[in-house]
């Protein structure tokens, strides 16, 4: 796999702070041409170093006031591959991880309120074949949310 160099890391630091920054401004800060910035960004996309860009929407502004993490225990860990497509059918589930520890999976979801959360758990998640039990952890407040820092080699 191709490696990224210090110029790539500098570009990443800049665009991670502001994904909408014009390429000409990135080029000026890095001391290279705009074409070089475009080529390097495209190469990092192709390498899956950059996996997306865009806007982040506040779920509360859409009426989803309850952020919840659900620890899911499955009959067998190997059922994970069958359960994930079922969870993908539930739009409120925004993340899912196959984990070690007390749960087979840890999922993040947003609900409008506690009643909606109960419906999601009782009528959807707990009805998925292979789900043995769930444990609900409601987030009271998101204290931080950041990207992993770009370190120089």
Report the pLDDT value the prediction gives residue 73, as an integer from 0 to 100.
97
Confidence class for position 147, pLDDT limits 50, 70, 90:
confident
Q: Where exactly are the structural domains of the chain?
A: 4-45, 57-137
Looking up tokens 């707990």 gives 126
Class of domain 57-137: alpha beta
Q: Does 149 have pLDDT greater than 90?
A: no
Long-range contacts of 115-122 (CB under 8 A, 24+ apart): 116/66, 116/92, 117/66, 117/68, 120/90, 120/92, 121/70
Could you tell me if 136 and 145 are in contact, meaning their C-beta atoms sit under 8 angstroms apart? no
Q: Rounded to whole angstroms, how far apart are CA atoms 111 and 83?
A: 20
Report the pLDDT value the prediction gives residue 1, as an integer from 0 to 100.
60
Task: Say whether domain 4-45 belongs to CATH 1.10.10.10.
Answer: yes
Could you tell me if 98 and 104 are in contact, meaning their C-beta atoms sit under 8 angstroms apart? yes
Q: State pLDDT tens for residues 43-73.
A: 999 999 999 888 889 999 999 999 999 999 9
* Mean pLDDT along residues 94-99: 97
Q: Does 105 have pLDDT greater than 90?
A: yes
* Mean pLDDT along residues 104-132: 98
Mean per-residue pLDDT of the chain: 94
C-alpha closest to that of 105 among 75, 66, 150, 127: 75
Q: Does 152 have pLDDT greater than 90?
A: no
Q: Does 146 have pLDDT greater than 90?
A: no
Q: Cα Rg for the chain, rounded, in angstroms?
A: 20
* Mean pLDDT along residues 136-144: 95
Lowest mean per-residue pLDDT among 33-42, 53-62, 95-104, 116-125: 53-62
């Amino acid at each position: 796999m191709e490696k990224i160099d210090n110029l790539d890391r500098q570009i990443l630091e800049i665009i991670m702070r502001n994904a909408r920054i014009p390429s000409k401004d990135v080029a000026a800060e890095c001391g290279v041409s705009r074409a070089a910035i475009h080529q390097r960004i495209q190469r990092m996309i192709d390498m899956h170093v950059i996996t997306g860009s865009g806007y982040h929407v506040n779920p509360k502004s859409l009426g989803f006031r309850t952020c919840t993490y659900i620890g899911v225990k499955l009959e067998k860990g190997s059922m994970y591959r069958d359960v994930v497509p079922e969870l993908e059918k539930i739009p409120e589930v925004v993340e899912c991880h196959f984990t070690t520890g007390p749960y087979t999976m840890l999922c993040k979801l947003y609900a409008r309120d506690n009643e909606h959360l109960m419906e999601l758990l009782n009528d959807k998640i707990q009805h998925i074949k292979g789900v043995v039990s769930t444990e609900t952890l409601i987030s009271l407040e998101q204290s931080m949310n950041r990207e992993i820092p770009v370190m120089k080699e």
